[in-house]
Structure 1
Amino acid sequence: MPSIITHAAVPLALWCAADRGRIPPRLLGAGVIAAMLPDADVLAFALHIPYADAFGHRGASHSLLFALVLAVLAAVLAFFGSRRPWSAPLSSGSRQPWLAVLCQPRLAPTTAKPTLASTVQAAAFVFVCAASHPLLDALTSGGLGVALAWPWSEHRFFAPWRPIRVSPFAPQFFSARGLATLLSELRWVWLPLAGAVIAWKLIHPAPAAPRDLS
């Protein structure tokens, strides 16, 4: 697995790519938690659950179904948990790609309940963040693959190309191996995402603030 810190890179990159205020702090926090949460399954080692078990490390919690469950939970919390939306309401006629939608300017806060569209947007953001965790793990150089298709299949998947060094567990993290892992993650995760954010900002600059003509 990449280190727990690096799993936060995807929600942070989406937040940086979005226009100011488009992804509010609560939704960003939910995305970061969703991106890190699958690694809570390391508790399986303390419970003597085998690594290769469906509920072992990189098992059920690294499935797309788990990401979907987190997305549904986020949608429920966004819709019923507050009278202020987690994300900006979208027009009913919008057909833009999901990333373009995330990067639109956020509308002014309102006391109205979140719309269905804004709730779906929050769920989509959390799903992408959660699903990014097993996809990054599949790019690592060691361990077992990820059970993306659980519960329909317990097969562990790896990407054909695996450039990211696998992270050691906590006792060995503060070592030469841990430093090598962080450098690998900087090269293959943080720098490419930073480059993608900069490119997105250059292609889609933030809209100019309206001038006061009074």
Structure 2
Amino acid sequence: MATIISHALIPLSLGLVLNRDKYPWRLIIAGMLCAMLPDLDVLMFKFGVAYESPFGHRGFTHSLAFAAAIAAMLTLLSRYLKTAKARIFGFIFIAAASHGVLDAMTTGGLGVEFFWPVSLQRYFFPVQFIQVSPIGLHNFMTARGLQVIQSELVTIWLPCLVFVSLINIYSHQRTKP
């Protein structure tokens, strides 16, 4: 998996380039939390659920169905999130689904169950360039964890920064008289 903090960068980056009147900070923060949410499945290890189980790590919580369910539930908060239900659904769906996308680009694990419950097949993308993060804080606070952070700075953080910067430069250029 990518580190939990790096998962939040995708909705944050999108939120930084979208119209703030239509995509308020409350929605962006909700998106960031929903992008991290699928990794709560690591708690299943405490209950003896095997990694390869549909209810194990990178199982149903990493699926497109889970992303859609979370997005649908958050549309009920449209008044609190101060935007239209369709915008909430789209933004939250992309935020939650981005978690599995990043994990499918990692160098380890068993793949991602994108199509649960229709299929229990796990997938990786053909290009896997994000170093897999150790699971658990104890395992993460090692030289290996530092190596993963350094890798993610180049493979996730830098591309997000470039994306936001380029969109903002383009938008600024378009609004010049």
* Fold shared, TM-score > 0.5 on shorter chain: yes
Structure 1's unaligned 5+ residue stretches are 88-117, 209-214
Matches within 5 A, 1:81-120: 82=79, 86-87=82-83, 118-120=84-86
**Shift in Å, 1:15:** 1.6
**Shift in Å, 1:25:** 2.3
Matches within 5 A, 1:63-82: 63-78=63-78, 82=79
Residue of structure 2 in register with 1:184 after alignment: 151
1:96-127, Cα deviation, whole Å (9 max, x unpaired):
xxxxxxxxxxxxxxxxxxxxxx2101110000
User: Is the counterpart of residue 198 in structure 1 residue 175 in structure 2?
Assistant: no
Residue of structure 1 in register with 2:6 after alignment: 6
Aligned partners of 2:64 and 2:115 also within 8 Å = yes
Letter in 2 for 1:201: N
Instruction: Please give the TM-score of this superposition, normalised by the length of structure 2.
Output: 0.93
The percentage of counterpart residues that share the same residue type is 42
Q: How many residues align?
A: 174
Structure 2's unaligned 5+ residue stretches are none
In 1, Cα distance between the equivalents of 2:164 and 2:171? 10
In 1, Cα distance between the equivalents of 2:31 and 2:90? 10
For residue 157 of structure 1, give the secondary structure of its aligned residue in structure 2. Answer: coil
Q: 1:179 to 1:85 in 2, by over 3 A?
A: closer
Match of 1:133 among 65, 83, 99: 99
Letter in 1 for 2:116: W
In 2, Cα distance between the equivalents of 1:21 and 1:195? 23
Instruction: Please give the TM-score of this superposition, normalised by the length of structure 1.
Output: 0.77
Aligned partners of 1:86 and 1:119 also within 8 Å = no
User: Is the counterpart of residue 121 in structure 1 residue 117 in structure 2?
Assistant: no
Runs of 4+ in 1 over 4 A off after TM superposition: none
Residue of structure 1 in register with 2:142 after alignment: 175
**Shift in Å, 1:21:** 4.4
**Shift in Å, 1:204:** 2.2
Residue of structure 2 in register with 1:152 after alignment: 118
Where is the helix percentage greater, Structure 1 or Structure 2? 2
Q: If you compute each CA radius of gyration, which structure gives the higher value, 1 or 2?
A: 1
